[in-house]
Every structure is written in C-alpha cells, then in structure tokens.
Structure 1
Amino acid sequence: MHFLAIDLNQAVLKFSDDNVILLKICLGIVMYGVALNLHTKDFKEILTNPRSVVIGLLSQVVLLPAATFGLITLLNPHPSLALGMILVAACPGGPLSNFIAHLSGGNAELSVSLTTITTLLSSFTTPFNFAFWANMLDIQSASGKPLTIDFIEMVIVILELTIIPTFLGMLTRYRFPQFAEKITKAFRIVSLIIFVIFIVGAFVDNLGIFVKYLFHFLGLVLAHNLVALLVGGLTARVFRVPGRDLRTITIETGIQNGSTSVVLTMAFFGGVGGMALIVGWWAIWDMCSSLILAFYWSKRPVKT
C-alpha cells in the first residue's frame, strides 16, 4: 500500500509506565462497578432472543473489523492511524452503551448481553482481529514501530482490564446480592468520576499534541464511527430484527471500549504515532455521536 507522507511518529503522548498502571486500575474498577449491576435476568435475552444476540455479535465482532479494513483501503491513511482504527474495531463494546441503548428506546437487556459477551470473548477476539487485519494491511515496515505483538501478552492484559474485574463484579453480585445492591450505584458513579478525571487530566497534558495533529485524525474518527453505526444499523435491518433490537445493535456496534484500546496502545506501542491519537479521540467521540443518535431516537416511536 502507498501511504500519505506524514511523520506522525513524532506525535508521542506523555504517558509514563505509572500512568499506564493507574489507567489499568481505573478501568478495572469501572468494569467491576458495571458488573456489580448485572443480574441473572439480564442474560435471559441470550435464551429468549438468541437470533438478535447472534446478529449483534456478527455485526460487532466480524463485520465491523472487516468494514474498518475496507475504509482504510479506501482512504489510505498513515500507517499508525490505520492501526489505531483496527485496534478500536477489535475491542469489545463500551460499558456506557447499556445506558445509551436504554435512552434510545432500545432493548436494554440485549445491550447488557452483547456488552458482556463481547467483553468475555475479547481475550481472544481482540488480539485475533487486530493481528489478522493489521497484517492484511502489510504496513510493518512503514509504521516506524514493529507490528509484531505478543498474542499471549495481549490476552493477559485484556484479562486484567476486563475479564477479571467483570467476573469479580458478577461474583460479588451472586454471593452478596444485598451488599452489591447497596454499593452498586455509588460505586459506579465514584469510579466513573475518578476515571473521567484521569482521562481529562491525561488529555490536557497532551492537548498540544492533539491540536497539532487534529486535521490528520479528526475526519478519520468521524468517518470510522459513522461506518460503525451504519454497519450495526444495516446488519440489523438486513436480518429484519425488531425495531428496539435494531437500535441496540446499532449503538453496540458504534460504541467500542475506547479505554481498553488506549491502554493497549500505551502498553504495546508506547503512545507513539497516530494510534494514540485515533483511540484517544474515539473514546470521546463515539459517546457523543451515540448520545446524539439516542436523543433523536428517544423522540420517535419504535417501528415494529
């Protein structure tokens, strides 16, 4: 592939090893808080509505990375920007998608099921999708950083970030339901506030880098997020799922766990190049676009 000659490898974010550890801890606490609110009844959707669950997984785990590859082929961005797009598409759904799906008039139970399943599968699907599609791009020598990653090491990091906190939260809910009920709301609010403060602080520390390279990544993130929402919506429409499920699948495909992609970028690529710019801005923008869509849908009846 021929790539645009932009030296994005000079865009190194200020993020120390200690900051990476703190971000991992913050994300783990958020995931634990989300899992505290999971009930057994939330997963009845898997048994009562398996078709929509399978279609949602197809859209998010299979079609989104493939569509991302197609968008990269069409736009031909800088190699590190392309890798950031692939990494975002390979990550599981974001934890706030459940709230946004509910706000939009979608199927909240389906949203919880999809987010949980993609999170639990992510220890395999994320490193596999990233390695598969990144190698399809054939940009190892152009990126300025070795593309080879330790598959097992990435699995371990994802286990630390998502799987273990989610399992512990669900276990707490199952073994100590009254305790979980008492702390879940306050715990989620406090953990999200801490997480947002950390992310905002990191963004402010690197504001000069984001501003300097804004026009190199802003349009890509907007286009990529639009493609993600279209993939979800069109997949649901092609398979003729109910209107509430269509809204949920659209939002679940459009919201990826940007925080996980940020940690993986820092852990494996040191925050160098356009990868960090893509995943950092995606973590902010996908929530904004989904909230706008949810607000639009919330004012309109669901079509059956």
Structure 2
Amino acid sequence: MNPDEIILNFNPGMLVLLNVVLGLIMFGIALDTTVKDFAVVVRKPKPFVVAILAQLVVLPLVTFGLTLILPVSPSMALGMILVACCPPGNISQVLTHRSGGNVALSVSMTAVANVIYIFALPLSVAFWGSMHPTARGQLTAVELDPLSMLLDVFLIIGLPFVVGLFIRHRFERFALRVQPIVKWFSLLALVSFIVAALAGNWAFFIAFLGIILLVVTVHDAVALAIGYGTAVVGGLGTPERKAMTFEVGIRNAGLGLGLVFAFFGGLGGMAIVAGWWGIWDIIAGLIVAGLWVRRTKRRTGSPKGDASRHAAAGRPGADAGPGTGAEAAS
C-alpha cells in the first residue's frame, strides 16, 4: 500500500462543513484577541521577531532537511512541510502557562502570527513543496495554485478572523459572552471531524502507524528544540524561552488536516501526518511542560518561579487561564 496513492474517504458535504468549522475556529480566536495583544509586540518586538523568524524560516528549512533524511514518501514529506508552515496552535498558551512561561508574550505572538500566516501559509507550502525533489510531484498532481490557495485561505480563515477582531473591538461585552460558546462548539466540531476521518480511514492509518509514530515524534521534538534554541540564541530570558518553545513547537495541525481535505483532495500521506501531529504535539507539549514545572519547583520552591511578573506586562489576567479558540486544533 502506497500512501502517495491513497485518497482518504470524504464527500463534498463534509468539505463544506469543514470550511465552516475552520472559519469558526479563527472567529473564536479573534474574539479572544485584543488590541493590547498586538501592542505588546510593538512595545517589545525582539521576542516576536525571533519567534517569527524561527517559525517562518528555521522550522520549514529544518523540516525540509528532515524530509530528505527520514524514510518518508513524497506525500508524507509534503504533510510534514504543511504542518511546519501552519500557524502556532493555541494550546501553546496553555502549555506556556503550565510551565511558568511568559503567557502575555505567547498570547501576543499567537495573535500576530495568525494574521501573518493567513498570507504566509499558502506561499510557504508552495515554495518548500516545489523545492522538494519528490514532494513537488504531489503539488503538480493536485495542481496547487498558491495565489488561488491564498485567496481561499483568506476567505475561509482570514475573513472570519478579521470579523472576529472587529466584533471584539467594537462589541467587547458581546464578544466575551459568545467566545466560549464559539470556542467549544468549533472545538467539538473539529474533534468530531477528525474522529470521523480517522474512523472512516482506520485501515490506512494502522497500515502506516510505525513510520508515522517515528516521523511525527522526531519532527515534533525538533520543532520544540528549535523554539528553545532560537530563544537562547536570541538572548531571551527563561520565561520567554518557555513561551518560544511552545510557540514554535506546537503547530495548528488540526487546521493543517483541514487544509489537506480542502486543497489536496484528502491525500493519504499528508492527512495521516497532520492527523497524528494534532494528537502527539499535545502529548509531547504536556510532557515538556510537566518536566519544566518539576525542574522549576526544585530550584525555586514554586512551580512557576518568577514568571508571574513577566505575565503582568501583558493584558490583565493573562496567566490566570488558558484562553483561546482552537486549543485542540493544534
């Protein structure tokens, strides 16, 4: 069985529903995003510049190298590239909070990054995919037009985000009331879609379980290491390093899975990689955050050390709870 020849089972009705769910996810994220989130980046741009370079340049470049080293098929390689080019998953804020990192910075970076990725995602996938010696054949097979994908991504993801930002800015009380409803509804809808997609294609998933476990585990570990390493090279403090680790290491693979169905015809290798990424990076992130908490508690006697003073620089209550829209869509 060749993953490059597998087309996962889905129908046009499911695709329309998925597009609506993706739009709701971004709408929910925007409802929980404030002008202050962007202002933090303007006041202290260095961590954001380091983070965005790590995400837009370093992670896709290293991922490209991994696809040449690991024993992956062309469609799996394209799936790895797609995940690396996805925006950060919002569970990064939960993990940053749990590890005692700078939550305000995490919230701000995710908010700004989601805007940038509306435009950067399709262009990055097209660029790195077309450079790959084997995966570019998969791009040709699906006839991916980056400009057309850019327009579609804006309509499905960007427009709901912009509308959500407007509503949060002009009708804050209303936005705060409906955001939890939108968040949990879109989350449950996406989880239901992923479960249905896996259940309907279980034989394909099991057939490639071994290689997928290896590839995703290595790729995710490298992504987390890139986040931490670039923060160290950038001279950031410990709370900022924690935020960077999860901001770069946690990708919105649930969104990536949706894009596989929306733009790549449910291509098997891509969908299997993105689907397992969405599960594993949450597990890996919780493990890393837990180890960090234990280490910090051993050194300082407190599970969060002095991170609270850093979080106070952001919006009020930023480290009091997790926060935003597509938490399990990472």
Superposition TM-score, scaled by structure 2 size: 0.84
Aligned to 1:299, the other structure's residue is in SS state helix
TM-superposed CA distance for 1:173, in Å, is 0.9
The C-alpha deviation readout for 1:150-200, integer Å capped at 9, x for no partner, is 111211222133221211111111111111122222332233223222222
Partners of 1:135 and 1:214 in 2: CA distance: 27
Partners of 2:160 and 2:273 in 1: CA distance: 26
Match of 2:61 among 58, 62, 66: 66
* Partner of residue 147, structure 2: 152
TM-superposed CA distance for 1:70, in Å, is 1.3
Match of 2:122 among 123, 127, 130: 127
Match of 1:81 among 66, 76, 79: 76
The alpha-carbon distance between structure 1 residues 34 and 143, as it changes in their structure 2 partners (threshold 3 A), is: closer
Superposition TM-score, scaled by structure 1 size: 0.91
* Partner of residue 39, structure 2: 44
Structure 2: gaps of 5 or more residues = 297-304, 308-330
Match of 1:234 among 221, 225, 229: 229
CA contact 1:43–1:109 (8 Å) conserved in 2: no
134-143 or 101-110: bigger deviation: 134-143
Q: In the alignment, is residue 198 of structure 1 matched against residue 193 of structure 2? A: yes
* Counterpart AA for 2:151: I
Match of 1:115 among 110, 115, 134: 110
* Partner of residue 3, structure 1: none
TM-superposed CA distance for 1:53, in Å, is 0.7
Aligned to 1:65, the other structure's residue is in SS state helix
Paired residue total: 299
* Partner of residue 14, structure 1: 9
Partners of 2:221 and 2:266 in 1: CA distance: 25
CA contact 2:119–2:154 (8 Å) conserved in 1: no
The alpha-carbon distance between structure 1 residues 303 and 77, as it changes in their structure 2 partners (threshold 3 A), is: farther
Percent of counterpart pairs with the same letter? 37
TM-superposed CA distance for 1:45, in Å, is 1.9
Q: In the alignment, is residue 248 of structure 1 matched against residue 243 of structure 2? A: yes
* Counterpart AA for 1:272: L
TM-superposed CA distance for 1:101, in Å, is 1.8
CA contact 2:84–2:251 (8 Å) conserved in 1: yes
How big is the alpha-carbon RMSD for the aligned residues of Structure 1 and Structure 2? 2.1
CA contact 1:65–1:90 (8 Å) conserved in 2: yes
* Paired residues for 1:94-105 under 5 Å: 94-105=89-100
Match of 1:31 among 26, 33, 53: 26
